[in-house]
Amino acid sequence: MATLGEKYLKIVNDIKAHISDEEERKYVVDKLQDISALYTDILETIANIGTKKFEMYENNQNEIEKQIGKLKETVDLIKSDIYEEDGYDFEIVCPYCNHEFVADIESELKEEVECPECHNIIELDWSEDEDSVCSGCCSECEHYEDEFGNIENKKEQNNDDDDM
């Protein structure tokens, strides 16, 4: 298969062979070159338009990929907040030495933890007895421990004070 340049030269040589008048032959070859230049310009313009569109699509694709990356990071953070249980941090007061520390408990299957201060083993109780009363040492409920070690309800205490 002949290349475009070879085909063009064949046409020019054909014209030269069939037109005997030198002036006419030169005129026809010049006009053929003008037409070829026009087609070449049109092809270059089309190629440039295609290149510009391709670059525009490529830039849009890159922007979309950046946005998808940011969206993926956000979704991954939400996913890790919702589904991944890396463990639970609990504040524990050692009943032996009263050292307060934070323990990372990975699951409720763990039944004991070691105090980092005195190295005694502290048993963890995961049962939630609704009838049980706290020890009075927490700030989460309405109970407190009085000076005699009795567990009292703060609300009841306030009501008793109002009655006086």
- The whole-number pLDDT of residue 50 equals 94
- The whole-number pLDDT of residue 142 equals 55
What is the CB-side half-sphere exposure of residue 95 using CA atoms within 13 A? 8
21-41 tens-digit pLDDT? 999 989 998 999 999 999 999
> Which residue do the tokens 């026809």 mark?
28
> Structure pTM?
0.36
Per-residue CA distances from 85 to 21, 78, 91, 127 (Å):
94, 12, 18, 20
- The whole-number pLDDT of residue 136 equals 52
115-150 tens-digit pLDDT? 999 999 988 776 665 455 555 555 555 555 666 656
Closest CA to 120 of 139, 90, 95: 95
106-134: burial string, b at 16+ Cβ within 10 Å, e else? eeeeeeebebeeeeeebeeeeeeeeeeee
Per-residue CA distances from 103 to 126, 136, 137 (Å):
15, 21, 18
- Cβ pair 87, 106 in contact under 8 A: yes
- Cβ pair 79, 71 in contact under 8 A: no
- The whole-number pLDDT of residue 91 equals 84
17-30: burial string, b at 16+ Cβ within 10 Å, e else? eeeeeeeebeebee
Give the Cα separation of 124 and 113 in Å (integer). 7
- Cβ pair 146, 137 in contact under 8 A: no
